[in-house]
Amino acid sequence: MTLVAILSGAGVSTDSGIPDYRGPNGLWRRDPEAEKLVTYSYYMADPEIRRRSWLMRRERTTLNAVPNAAHRAVAELDRRNGFAVRVITQNVDGLHQLGGMPDRKVLELHGTARAVVCTRCKVRSSMDEALARVDAGEADPPCLACGGILKSATVMFGESLDPTVLGAALAVTKACEVFVAVGTSLAVQPAASLAPLAAEHGARLVIVNAEPTPYDELADEVVREPIGTALPALLAGLA
């Protein structure tokens, strides 16, 4: 059984209509003020930031996006005899699971945009339910259980990654035979450090990304072709 780790970044989901954040036309470059809406300290301190954050979530296409060929190719590999796949994703869109990957095989480093969590009592509920309350007139809907501040179940700037999820990602990275970094700039730590860690532990390292990354020289193969066609071809060709 060949263990294949897929580290996926924003580039995997652009074909699904979800823009990246740090690319040439990314959200943070176009609107630096938008970064405040997903920064924990600003979010917790300022009701106006929270109100704008809820409007941003309502207007985003993330929850309506559908998986593309890259997501489906990953799930197809997992169903093939002789392969075990684990996805380590920097994305919060849930499209790997919608594309056919079992939830237990997807490690969401930065959380999920499909749920909300109370910052006080930690109760989780669905994003759809929270957005329905926004649509009904609640500009900053509080937790229904304790009245605390609700936030997206994503890791905001200023928050730490879930140590359990990160620990599982490190274990998969050290154990895999093939490590594919796809659609990620490999510039954001600690996710970026997984690529050299995989190579250090003997994995075949493949990088699929439109732009150069800091770890291209370590890779056994670098692919610059469009992800929607390149990743399915690459995974189909694994023996």
Q: Specify whether the backbone of 78 is left (phi greater than 0), alpha (psi in -120 to 50) or beta.
A: alpha
Give the C-alpha separation, 180 to 87, whole Å: 10
Torsions phi, psi for 66 (to 5 deg): -120, 150
User: CB-based burial of residue 228 (10 Å sphere; 0-12 exposed, 13-18 middle, 19+ buried)?
Assistant: middle
* Residue-by-residue DSSP string for 197-211: HHHHTTPEEEEE-SS
What's the token pair of residue 88? 């380590």
The residue annotated as part of the active site, out of 71, 96, 110, 201, is 110
Q: Any catalytic annotation for residue 96?
A: no
Task: Write 22-30 long-range contacts (CB < 8 A, 24+).
Answer: 22/185, 22/187, 23/211
Per-residue b/e over 172-186, b at no fewer than 16 CB within 10 Å? bbeebbbbbbbbbbb
Catalytic sites, residue numbers: 110
